[in-house]
């Protein structure tokens, strides 16, 4: 039996090599097509990410959340499109983060008016009225804008807050299943960080099929080529998943 196989291989060696070469070329072509498709999909996603603005959504309960398309790439891509964020990641001593998110927030408390009655300050002494006293204040820096004025008239003191904004930024990166968070605002305190990593489902490039098949091959008993009907187990490429994003 072994001698027969050896003889068959020697006889049809060129044909076998041609078939193997053809199959190899098909595999290389599929890999090239897949790489081109991945590259095209990544470019299309990045075009959307660079032109996409922050979108606000409301749930049926009125809760507001936002979304933004992320870029796809590596640190070199990040260096090209956002050099400052790239430098921040380098300062965090991260080499191969899998996810990087930068969030710039403004907390706007809005304008407020508050009044207090001050009984101990008389509105009139010896027929002389106290004039209205107004004092403006501002506590502004790069992290907060707090502006307003205090007014005292007769026995009433009014506090008018004209601006109250807090600026907070976050840089979030994920590396080796750990979350790293950094803010340029030194007054930010992190109370809780929780999360879960959800891996993307892997594409199945292969499929297994069991069923009847008709084939044409070599009959070692009859020492000739001929057709046959078989019950076969087929393991091959799933073209649908190869081209599916």
The per-residue pLDDT for range 213-228, each reduced to its tens digit, is: 666 666 666 666 666 6
CA distances from 139 to 107, 136, 146 (A): 15, 11, 5
Please check whether residue 150 lies inside any domain of the structure: yes
User: Hey, what's the torsion of the CAs at 27, 29, 30, 36, to 10 degrees?
Assistant: 150
Q: 211 lies in a domain?
A: yes
The C-alpha atoms of residue 172 and residue 31 are separated, in whole angstroms, by 34
Has residue 192 been placed in a domain? no
Same domain, 71 and 176: yes
Residue 21 belongs to some domain of the structure: yes
- For residues 229 and 121, membership in a common domain is answered with no
| pLDDT score for 76 | 87
Residue 94 CA to residue 97 CA, distance in Å, equals 6
Q: How far is Cα 150 from Cα 134, in angstroms, rounded to an integer?
A: 6
Write down how long the chain is.
245
Residue at which a domain ends, from 152, 182, 212:
182
The tens digit of pLDDT for each residue in 166-178 reads 999 989 888 887 8
Mean pLDDT calculated for residue range 147-166: 89
Beta bridge partners, 128, equal: 125
In the chain, how many domains are there?
A: 4
Do 84 and 176 reside in the same domain of the chain? yes
Burial label for 245, CB within 10 Å (0-12, 13-18, 19+), is exposed
pLDDT at 245: 47
DSSP 140-177: --SSEEEEEEEEEETTEEEEEEEEEEEEEEEEEEEETT
Q: Do 131 and 241 have their domain in common? A: no
- Residue 194: inside a domain: no
Which pLDDT value is given to residue 148? 93
Q: Are residues 48 and 61 in the same domain?
A: no
75 shares its domain with 152: no
Say yes or no: 3 and 48 in one domain: yes
Give CA–CA dist 82/46, Å, rounded: 13
Same domain for 39 and 24?
A: yes
């996810």: which residue's tokens?
Answer: 99
Asked whether residue 71 falls in the same domain as residue 86, the answer is yes
Asked if residue 175 belongs to a domain, the reply is: yes
By percentage, how much of the chain surpasses pLDDT 70? Answer: 69
Residues 140 and 218 in one domain: no
Structure tokens at 183: 């803010």
* Full residue range of the structural domain in which residue 228 is found: 200-245
Is the separation of the CB atoms in 118 and 130 below 8 Å?
no
Q: How far apart are CA 104 and CA 190, in angstroms?
A: 16
Ranking 66-75, 192-201, 226-235 by mean pLDDT, the lowest is 226-235
Residue 234 lies in a domain: yes
Q: Which residue bears the tokens 């605002």?
A: 185
Instruction: Note whether 139 and 48 are same-domain residues.
Output: no
Q: Is the pLDDT of residue 2 over 70?
A: no
pTM of this structure: 0.57
């Amino acid at each position: 039996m072994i001698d027969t196989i050896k003889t068959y291989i020697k006889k049809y060696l060129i044909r076998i090599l041609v078939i193997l070469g053809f199959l190899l070329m098909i595999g290389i072509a599929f890999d090239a097509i897949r790489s081109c498709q991945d590259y095209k999909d990544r470019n299309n996603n990045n075009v959307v990410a660079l032109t996409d603005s922050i979108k606000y959504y409301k749930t049926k309960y009125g809760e507001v959340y936002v979304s933004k398309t992320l870029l796809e790439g590596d640190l070199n891509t990040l260096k090209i499109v956002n050099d400052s964020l790239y430098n921040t990641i380098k300062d965090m001593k991260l080499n191969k983060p899998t996810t990087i998110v930068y969030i710039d927030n403004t907390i706007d408390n809005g304008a407020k008016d508050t009044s207090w009655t001050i009984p101990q300050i008389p509105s009139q002494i010896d027929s002389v009225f106290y004039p209205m006293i107004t004092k403006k204040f501002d506590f502004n820096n790069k992290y907060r804008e707090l502006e307003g004025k205090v007014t005292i008239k007769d026995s009433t003191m009014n506090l008018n807050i004209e601006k109250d904004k807090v600026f907070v930024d976050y840089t979030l990166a994920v590396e080796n299943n750990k979350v790293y968070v950094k803010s340029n605002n030194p007054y930010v305190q992190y109370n809780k960080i929780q999360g879960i990593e959800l891996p993307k489902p892997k594409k199945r490039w292969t499929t297994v099929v069991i069923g009847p098949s008709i084939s044409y091959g070599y009959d070692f008993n009859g020492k000739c080529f001929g057709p046959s009907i078989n019950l076969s187990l087929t393991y091959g490429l799933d073209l649908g998943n190869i081209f599916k994003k």
